[in-house]
Amino acid sequence: MEKDQEKKKKSRKESLVDTLGLLTYSLIAGAATDYASGLRGLGILASRAYGTGINIPTAAPYGKWRNLLYKLTKTTDESPKFRKYLTELLAFDTFQVPLYSTVLTFGSLMYNLSRGQFKIDFDKVKNGTEILTAISPFVGPIMGLYMEGVRKLFHLESAPKKARENLEEKLLDDPKEKVSEADPQKD
C-alpha cells in the first residue's frame, strides 16, 4: 500500500516536472516556429497562448508517451545515442506535430479575426506543420534532452532509465524472457 502511494506521488511529480519542461521549451521553440511559418505579432501571441493552454493538459501525457515509447522500443539508458535520438523523434512526430497543427489553426484564426475576417489560412497551417516536421529531427530530440534535463534537475528518472528498469523487472519475473532477450535467434 505504501509502495503504491509512493509510486503515485512520484508519478504526480513527474507529470508536474514534464509540464514545466514542455511549457518552457515550447514557448521559446514554438515562437520561433510560428515566426518561420509566417505568423507575426498577435498571431504569434495567440498561438503561444493557445499552445500554452494546450500544453498544460497535454505535457504530462506527452511525458508518459515518451516513457511508453522508450519501453516499447526497449530503448534504455544503455542504448546507443542514435537509438535514443530515433525514439525521441518518434515521440515528437507522433504527438507534438499533430498537436501543433491545432495551435497554428487557432493562431491563424485569431490573426485573421483581428483583421475582421473569420477565416483560417490553411496554407499557413500546412506550411507550419511542414516546417515543424522538417525541423523535427532537430527540435524533437532536443526537446527530449531538455525534458530529461528538467527531470534530472528535480531528481527524477529519465525515460530511458525507466525503460531499462522495466526490462530488468520483466527479466526477474520471467527467466524465459531473459533467454529470448539475450538471444533472439532461439525463439
Does residue 119 sit in helix, strand or coil? coil
- Which of 42, 22, 52 has its CA nearest to residue 149? 22
- pLDDT for res 177: 54
- pLDDT for res 22: 95
C-alpha cell at 24: 518552457
pLDDT higher than 80, residue 140: yes
pLDDT tens track for 167-183 = 998 888 876 655 455 44
pLDDT tens track for 34-78 = 888 888 898 899 889 988 998 999 999 999 999 999 999 999 999
Residue 59 has a CB neighbour count (10 Å cut-off) of 23
- pLDDT for res 186: 45
pLDDT higher than 50, residue 107: yes
Mean pLDDT value of segment 150-159? 96
- pLDDT for res 175: 63
Phi first, then psi, for residue 158 (nearest 5°) are: -75, 160
Residues 6+ away with beta carbon under 8 Å from 22: 55, 58, 59, 62, 63, 143, 147
